[in-house]
Copies of this chain bind each other. A is one copy, B any other.
Amino acid sequence: MAGLGRMGMRHARNLATRVRNADLVALCDPSSETRARAASELGVADTYSDYAALLRHPGLDAVFLATPTSEHAEQIIAALDAGKHVFSEKPTSLQLDQCKRVEAAAARHPRQKAMIGYVRRFDPSYRDAYDKVQKGLIGTPFMVRSQTADLNDPSGFFVQYAAHSGGIFLDMSVHDIDVARWFLGGPAAVRVYATGTVAVHEGLKSVGDLDNGIALCEFANGKVACFQASRTMAHGHETLTEVVGTQGRLTIGANPRLTRVDIADAHGMRNECTPTFYERFEPAFVEELDAFVDAIAQDRALPLTLADATEATRIAIAIQASIRERRSVEL
């Protein structure tokens, strides 16, 4: 496991205790303090400050990356060239050419598995909806509306990172884009348009970013998607996807309830909501790694390809261009 920040530690804990057929054997992080703490908690003897050294760890089969996005592409390629299977947190890269380099590296190593962590594809509710669509429950799906909305952080901590995030759609909407393509059968995107606003975090204006955005995407076969991203929700994290078909509609996550508890009190009838994406997708992160490890063990095809990951980035980049240029952008 490389990258032992908050998300990296979650993956590491899952690998250590919950993922079938995986042994967590080595850790990598630039911070010695972080390495020591993680090694102790996870019961892993071997740690590395240097990623290249990690790749030389004896008997290593697969590498898992939760490093900064800017390092993903190089590290994926290095892992592949070192003969390792590799799983990386999304996205592949904020640059399209880097995504393409990763795809090329994978093509050079066809026996090795490489997957970007588009975790929703492994979430039980998304899978249930996908299976229902495949079985024809809603006829032919033709529109997806998908939203990622985060609980507002009043400190505006993320504003300082905005200059390097690629913009709200690249940062937040690639999951939604991937999900839309998945449900619609992977059609080619032909045109996007987006708008949005700075509702709360004025600091975003200086870098041309938004705290609430909405985008439309047209696909070659007449299918349509709408993506919404927000950093300013009052009630919690809300990931919601609507799949509209000719004979029905599926909605995943209409109420982002945290538990099965309903409260009837002076505030009305209510339920608490998932504070972050992790409470929402916690089991899916285990399913995701299980699926990746099982695909290696059984040499099975992965349910999502590097090309899928690249396409999510490509569409998000076009959406960001639409924001900058205030016009629709052809793909």
Residues of chain A at the chain B interface (Cβ within 8 Å): 17-18, 20, 124-125, 128-129, 132, 137-138, 140, 142-143, 145, 191, 193-200, 212, 214, 216, 218, 222-224, 226, 228, 230, 232-236, 238, 244, 246-273, 283, 326-328
Contacts and interface: CB of A to CB of B under 8 A. Distances in A.
A271 B232 CA distance: 21
A226 B226 contact: yes
B266 A262 contact: no
A253 B262 CA distance: 8
Contact of A248 (B198, B216, B235): B235
A271 B237 CA distance: 19
Contact of A233 (B235, B258, B264): B264
A251 B262 contact: yes
A261 B125 CA distance: 6
B140 A261 contact: no
A262 B268 CA distance: 10
A257 B269 contact: yes
A269 B255 contact: yes
Given A197-B223, A198-B222, A267-B270, A233 B212 contact: no
B235 A266 contact: yes
Contact of A125 (B129, B142, B260): B260
Contact of A250 (B140, B143, B261): B261
A129 to B, nearest CB: 5
B266 A234 contact: yes
A193 B103 CA distance: 34
A129 B261 CA distance: 7
9 contacts: A128-B272, A138-B234, A197-B222, A214-B224, A226-B228, A235-B249, A255-B269, A268-B270, A268-B272
Contacts of A327: 327-328
A48 to B, nearest CB: 26
A197 B266 CA distance: 22
A156 to B, nearest CB: 13
A287 B214 CA distance: 34
A263 B259 contact: no
A61 B132 CA distance: 46
A268 to B, nearest CB: 4
Contacts of A197: 142-143, 222-224
A261 B132 contact: yes
Nearest to A286: B18
Contacts of A265: 137-138, 234-235, 247-249
Nearest to A247: B234
Contacts of A248: 234-235, 263-266
A269 B238 CA distance: 11
A313 to B, nearest CB: 22
A235 B20 contact: no
Across the A-B interface, the 6 shortest Cβ-Cβ residue pairs: A270-B270, A248-B265, A125-B260, A235-B264, A125-B259, A249-B264
A198 B223 CA distance: 9
